[in-house]
Structures are given as structure tokens and as C-alpha cells.
Amino acid sequence: MVPDLWLFEKKAIEKGFSRIAGIDEAGRGPLAGPVVSAAVILPTSLKVSGISDSKKLTPKKRVYLYEKIYDHAVSIGVGIVDPIEIDRINILKASLLAMAMSVKNLVPQPDCLLIDGTFPISSNLPQEPIPRGDTLSISIAAASIIAKVTRDRLMERYHLDYPQFGFSRHKGYPTKAHKEAIRKFGCCPIHRRSFKGVKEYL
């Protein structure tokens, strides 16, 4: 049975909320680059099919849906936390900070938040953390697509500055090729110096 991806949004509407934002992040696991969050408010009249957890989509499909979400969303906010801040406060706190930033960047502001994961974020708005929310809520799934495509494009830009690391291919994730490049070339300014796989080569 296919789950109703609007279920959490419908429950929020029943409680009297009208601008429900889904929030997700991309880039907790990489050894390099920022963590990027997106917050998305979708119209209930949305007629775009195929929105689901960004990890289950091909890159081509993600980009297609990214454009469609930008065309139809009521509001989209993005939050970015750089590697220096990730090293300073840790990746979990950085992820939650990016999420809070993405909510603040929504215009209009939401009146309710659906957050991927188990942790609440710093916000006075009513919020519901949803484990595996990117597979259960259409708003969170849309946010996962925006966050992932935004981050991938940032990493492709960083590839121009540091081509020896191959960021355009692995986006900073700890692939065999990336780890070998770190061993060979050391670290660049966007590597996360507190991460295992990087700190050994400082």
C-alpha cells in the first residue's frame, strides 16, 4: 500500500494550520563542503507527481523536480552552514542550525513545521520532528530535493577551485577516490577538519 504523503500536512490543516513547512537537510555525511537545509511550503493544490525522498531519485529526476517545486511552491527557504562552523559546533548542531536558518528565510513565514529526523529546531513555531520524514511527508520530501540539488551545485562549483579532489563526482562524500585524494593532496579549505578521514591528514 502506497503511503499518503499528504497525511501529516492534512493533520496539521485539521488543527487549524495553513502554511505548513517541511524541512530537511543534505550533507551530514560528507568529509567536505557545507551542510545545506531547505524549508518548503507547498500549496495543497499541488499537481506535481514523483516527489519523494531525494536519495531515491536519479540526479536527472531530482533536477526536474527541483525546477517544478520552485515553480509551484508557496515559499522556499535555504540555510547553509560552512565547514568551519561544522567543525566548531559539530555536524548535528550545524544541521539543526541550517534548518532553523532555512525556516527564517521563508516568505511568507510558516505557522507549523514538519522536520525530518528526531530533533526539534530552534524556533518558536509549532513543530513536529518525523523520523524518516522524507519518505512520509510530501513537504519534507520536497525540502530534501531542494537541499540536495542546492548542495550538489555548490560542490560542483567547489570542484572548479579544487579539481584534484573530484568534488563534482562524489560531492564530498567519503568515497574511495575521495579518500585517496586526501591522502595524496592533503586537505583543502572546505574539508571538515574534525571528521575522521580528514583530521588524520592535517
In a domain, 179, yes or no: no
* pLDDT tens per residue, range 148-188: 999 999 999 999 999 999 999 999 999 999 999 999 999 99
CATH code at position 96: 3.30.420.10
What domain range is 64 assigned to? 7-156
Say how many domains are in the chain.
1
**Domain annotation covers residue 194:** no
Report yes or no on 97 lying in a domain: yes
**pLDDT tens digit sequence for 72-123:** 999 999 999 999 999 999 999 999 999 999 999 999 999 999 999 999 999 9
The span from the CA of 135 to the CA of 118, in Å, is 14
- Does any domain span residue 20? yes
Residue 120 lies in a domain: yes
Q: What is the reported pTM? A: 0.97
Flag whether 193 is in a domain. no
Question: Which strand ranges, in their side-by-side order, compose the sheet holding 127-130?
Answer: 75-81, 35-41, 20-26, 112-116, 127-130
